[in-house]
Amino acid sequence: MPCLHSEALESAEPGSASPAASVAQQSVRERPTDPAVSWFFSPLWSPRTQRTTRRSGAGFEAWLDDHSDFTRTYFLRRASASRSDHSDLVMKARQRGTNSHMNISSSPDRLKPLTPNLGAPDRTGPCSPDVLGSHSPRSPRSSCMSFSPRRPLSPFCPYSQDVPHPPHLLHSIASKPATCVHCEGCPWMMDLLKGSLSSMGSVAELCHGAVLHTGDLLAAECGSLALVKKDCGGRRSLEEVISPTTLGSFSHGNSCTRAQMELLRGVMGRVLATESPMNLRDATEDQRFDADEDQSSNFKIRTLLSVPIKNHRGEVVGVLVMINKRSFRDGSVSVFTRADEKVLSTHMDMLGMVLDNVQLYESSRQEVKRSQALIEMAQVLSREHHSFEVLLIKMAATIMPFTKAQYCTIFIPGERTSVFADKVSFSRVIHLECEELGSTCQIYRRERDVKDIDPSHALRSLVTMETLNMSGSSEGSTKSLICCPVRNERSENVIAVCQLMNKRSRDSEETEAFNRYDERLLEDLAVYCGLALQYAQAVQITKERRASIEVTQEVLAYHITAAQQEIQTLQEATIPSAESLHILDFHFSDFGLPEDLTTQATIRMFLDLNLVQDFNIDYKSLCQWVLTVRRGYRNNVPYHNWSHALSTAQSMFAMLMATKHLQTTFSRLEILALMIATLNHDIDHRGVNNSYIERSQQPLAQLYGHSSLENHHYNMCLFILNNTGSQILKGLSAEDYKTLLHWIKRAILATDLTVYMERRKEFFSLTKKSRVNWKSEKHRELLRSMLMTASDLSAITKPWPEQKRIANLVAMEFFAQGDKEKEEFKIKPIDIMNRENSSRLPYMQVEYIDEICYPLYKALSRMFDTCSPLLSGCKKNRENWMQLAEKVEEQDSENSSSATVETHFKTEGATQTEE
């Protein structure tokens, strides 16, 4: 884009080609054909209609036809406006030949110092850390770029004439034309158009070149540039990129004073707020400027010209100010003209457009860098680490190259005690240093104590739980510092603080400040770090708890294992026969049986089923296992104790021994699984059911969720089988061992009456079939489950005295649970557990037999005739309970009649007394 000089605009005639057009035509001819050379002709700027062939004739006309939407409006508007405005100014200056100072309006609307929230908040864009706007690489961008509309002229002082330039002013301007390279095109602009984004350097370098070029073009002594920065609320503020810089051959010994800086901030802030240029023609007349204070500086601010920098969408992305146009040779003061303002605005149009694209380019590069950093961090966290400190070191080593930090320190907070709950401190630190080695860097860990590192900034970040950026700090060797808290995902607790110091510059050996992008990157990495630390802490806690469980199991194994003397006694004892122990009888009762005979009867079952011989079970291990299982049952539980376990195992043994068809249907491994399951199906029972455990939220319910007791019984069984000295299954192959444990677990879970009620309909249907396929694993598993339930409920089939005794034990256990529910949950228990219904025990037993027991034993007897004694015993006990229920009913009726007669006599006596 050419620089529009006043004389060139003045000589332009309607209908003739303007110098701008000639320059544009030349620039079109000189446009490189390689699209990679010039970003300006990239798809971001390409016209709506791309022609693949060129028409014959002048290249300028062809280019205008192809790009009419971009060029026509711009050149006509620029040429006409510049010609009319500037020619009038020149004519008035020639006629008057006077010189007077111009000043900004003295209206009450005085300039305000620059504030962080100038202008209305921009709600259309997200929170942007960049100083160039609010868009990011994720934002959709327009594919066509255009210049912003012509800006309004800056305000003039009402005290002065329209054009206060003497005749020698025109000579001065003519001697220093504002065009670049004899109107052949602005070299600075052409360099921007021809150069690629990657070769433009940083934003600061681009802005610095713009200040130097425009300052030389306008013959200004000093220039400054600031870019717009938006906070998370959309409020705009100016961030100084180029501080007041001496231009050309002008040199001043002192920098701007505080009052001068306030003046510059106020002017630039007003330009940002109004989004219009401002030409201050006499700074000494401004009331905010302290002339006395200004006399202490060699540098004087006389004139100012400030214009906004807008992108192609018309958004202000920065403000440029030019200070003190070069004075005339006779010592009179020169001022910035409208032509200067137009030239400066034209350059800032180009700069705003380039800055917009540079920002997009930089944002995309930053996002690529950010994604790479997050991917590398994720890869680090996905690996297994041997210790917590190793993980922290690898995380710090991943962060440092991306942020270019010289030092990285991770602070680990100490635990707060109840006495010092408000006091925060760090228990340890991990400190790393980065040393550059050519194009690579080497990271070292330095041993540092907490007291050797200043924790003040980290403590502040820990307390506020916010990122702290102390860039520009000159404390000791710290020139820039940033602290970021690493939070626990599940809570607001800060589990670490990551501190980076001294960001290395890529262009020099000096350090630079951490910017907003570094903050965002560190905050994103802190999220990953928080997850990693949380995972590492969870792993550490898991290891500690696993060690605690192992210690607990060791203690449990010691106390649950029978004494060696007891094991030796059982091992050396002569095991009675099954006939003498009556364990082949379905009516077996262990009531009154000595305790040592109960373990011997268990050994006899394994021997008579040939399990010891078939699976090569060590006899001593079998003795220890049986004794350990017996010790696993709680003696304070009325019914679900070792006696019930023995009775259940004996019922299974009796059915297996009496029914040869069962021994041929089941494999030897299945029979072993059934015997182990019956002995362990209620081990460590607590005297309450699953409903109470779930309602009271005991650990068992939290651990298993459903069938809590049955799952616990299986795990206790597995624990004893793996206990040293009780490993009766060590002779099995790995495959048989795995299959056996699966069958044991399924058998124990089948004793849950809820499971039985769900599956019994399928079994009843199976028993009615004439032919059953026992080769089917599904049918055999169903049969094993029903046999487990039949053995578990076999107390209902025992002789009446034994059945009545056991029923009272069950009622005692149930009523105890009902009492707990009343006291703890303030609820009324179900009838079978309500002590107030103790007189209704016979009725409840009859209902229990009819609904649960009788259908099962009837189905088994239909399938296996040898199991008919179980059905006969169940029927007899039902009759006995029914008779008892009738007696209770008669007794209740008599008691009710007696109560009625007694009430009648009392009522009659009371009536006679009254008479």
Please give the annotated binding residues for Zn(2+), written as ranges: 644, 681-682, 792
Question: What whole-number distance in Å separates Cα of residue 884 and Cα of residue 864?
Answer: 31
Residue 640 annotated to the active site: yes
The upper half-sphere exposure of residue 684, i.e. CA atoms within 13 Å in the direction of its Cβ, equals 18
Kindly name the residue from 640, 685, 712, 713 that is annotated as catalytic.
640
Is residue 662 exposed (0-12), middle (13-18) or buried (19+ Cβ within 10 Å)?
buried
Question: What whole-number distance in Å separates Cα of residue 58 and Cα of residue 859?
Answer: 106
| 443 three-class SS | strand
Question: What whole-number distance in Å separates Cα of residue 335 and Cα of residue 282?
Answer: 9
Strands (E), 579-700: none
Question: What whole-number distance in Å separates Cα of residue 481 and Cα of residue 432?
Answer: 14
Identify which of 186, 146, 167 has the alpha carbon closest to the alpha carbon of residue 24.
186
Sign of CA dihedral 127, 133, 138, 139: positive
Identify which of 785, 764, 766, 769 has the alpha carbon closest to the alpha carbon of residue 858.
764
Residues that constitute the known binding site: 640-644, 681-682, 792, 845
Identify which of 288, 296, 244 has the alpha carbon closest to the alpha carbon of residue 270.
288
Question: What whole-number distance in Å separates Cα of residue 792 and Cα of residue 678?
Answer: 8
Identify which of 757, 758, 728, 759 has the alpha carbon closest to the alpha carbon of residue 744.
728
Cα separations (Å) of 194 from 200, 746, 839?
A: 10, 79, 104
Q: Which two tokens stand for residue 840?
A: 């209704």
Question: What whole-number distance in Å separates Cα of residue 854 and Cα of residue 870?
Answer: 9
CB atoms within 10 A of CB 421: 8
Question: What whole-number distance in Å separates Cα of residue 163 and Cα of residue 94?
Answer: 10
Q: Are 523 and 370 in contact (CB under 8 A)?
A: no
Phi and psi based region of residue 737 (left: phi greater than 0; alpha: psi -120 to 50; beta: remaining):
alpha
Residues that constitute the known binding site for AMP: 640-644, 682, 792, 845
Cα separations (Å) of 716 from 622, 682, 755?
A: 17, 10, 20
β-strand 494-504 against 220-230: which pairing, if any?
A: unpaired
Which residues are part of the catalytic machinery?
A: 640
